[in-house]
Amino acid sequence: MLLSLLLFAAPGLDLHYIDTEGGAATLIVTPAGESVLIDCGNPGNRDAERIADACKKLGLKEITHLVITHWHLDHYGSTGPLSKLIPIKNFHDRGIPATLDEDKANFPLLIRAYKEASGGKSNTLKPGDTIPLKQADGSPKVELLCVCASGKVIAEKPAAKANPVAVDHKPMKPDPSDNAKSLGFVLSFGNWR
């Protein structure tokens, strides 16, 4: 299933949610025609084929940027099969750990397909980094800003006002899983965020 949201008239920013029955896959198509795929679902061909089919229906010849938010298999598992169905130009992640606490024995084997697909060349993102996106003439600026990675968050803006709703916030117990180390982003298109 492909759920699409068109934010503006052409040239616009298109957001597509591709059902991967788990970790999810979000496909962003910019006004300049670049694509950003955030996560790519489970191992095997099912999710890879769903993503490749969505790209084909949208007229995409490649995935310009693949972003893996964290190292749970339902978020990066189809990278290998997907890379055989459609070229992936750039790979972004939070850095590949040697092991994963949740799956110490299997992670080195499971991550192999991602490393092979990326040629061992992925861009490690940290808070404050942006995905380098081309801008379309006559269109509002598109930016994908990394606001959290590996358990760290972007610094507050100088003179930022405190959120009054947060006064009653009670922190949750720390999450030791890789979920807590996920990449997080703010997508902006002109004044829209």
CA-CA distance, 29 to 71, in Å (whole number)? 24
pTM for this structure? 0.91
Query: What is the model's pLDDT at position 18?
Result: 96
All structural domains of the chain = 2-189 (3.60.15)
Kindly give the residue spans of alpha helices, DSSP state H, lying in the chain: 45-57, 73-76, 79-85, 107-110, 112-118
Query: What is the model's pLDDT at position 6?
Result: 52
Query: What is the model's pLDDT at position 10?
Result: 46
CA-CA distance, 141 to 159, in Å (whole number)? 25
Query: What is the model's pLDDT at position 4?
Result: 52
Query: What is the model's pLDDT at position 84?
Result: 98
Query: What is the model's pLDDT at position 5?
Result: 52
Kind of pairing between the strands at 35-38 and 63-67: parallel
Give the pair of three-digit tokens for residue 89: 């130009």
Each residue's pLDDT, cut to its tens digit, for the chain (193 residues) gives: 455 555 544 468 999 999 998 778 999 999 999 999 999 999 999 999 999 999 999 999 999 999 999 999 999 999 999 999 999 999 999 999 999 988 889 999 999 999 999 999 999 999 999 999 999 999 999 999 999 999 999 988 888 888 888 888 888 899 999 999 999 999 999 999 9
